[in-house]
């Protein structure tokens, strides 16, 4: 198990401010000590998580904000 994967288990996860309280499509994000970010489905916290490097995270946020995924 690499360091990033290990850090996911102890990370402080927070739900997206755009996620509702009704149990729908919710995303959680964790900032890892080395600058990586973890992203997971809040309905399945023990399931898989996506990890992004700081550069990938910045690119991802830019894409979301520009509406690329909508």
Q: Residue 57 pLDDT more than 90? A: yes
Rounded to whole angstroms, how far apart are CA atoms 67 and 46?
A: 29
Beta bridge partners of 39: 29, 50
pLDDT of residue 66: 94
Q: What residue spans define the domains of the chain?
A: 3-53
Whether 1 shows a pLDDT value over 90: the answer reads no
Identify the band that residue 10 occupies on the pLDDT scale cut at 50, 70 and 90. confident
Q: List residues bridging with 28 in a β-sheet.
A: 15, 40
**In the β-sheet with 13-15, what is the strand arrangement from edge to edge?**
13-15, 27-31, 37-41, 50-52
pLDDT the model gives residue 26: 84
The pTM assigned to this predicted structure is 0.76
């Amino acid at each position: 198990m690499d360091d990033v994967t290990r850090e996911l288990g102890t990370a402080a996860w927070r739900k997206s401010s755009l996620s509702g309280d009704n149990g729908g499509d919710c995303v959680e994000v964790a900032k890892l000590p080395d600058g990586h970010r973890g992203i997971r489905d809040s309905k399945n916290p023990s399931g898989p998580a996506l990890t992004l490097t700081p550069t990938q995270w910045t690119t991802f946020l830019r894409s979301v904000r520009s509406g690329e995924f909508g």
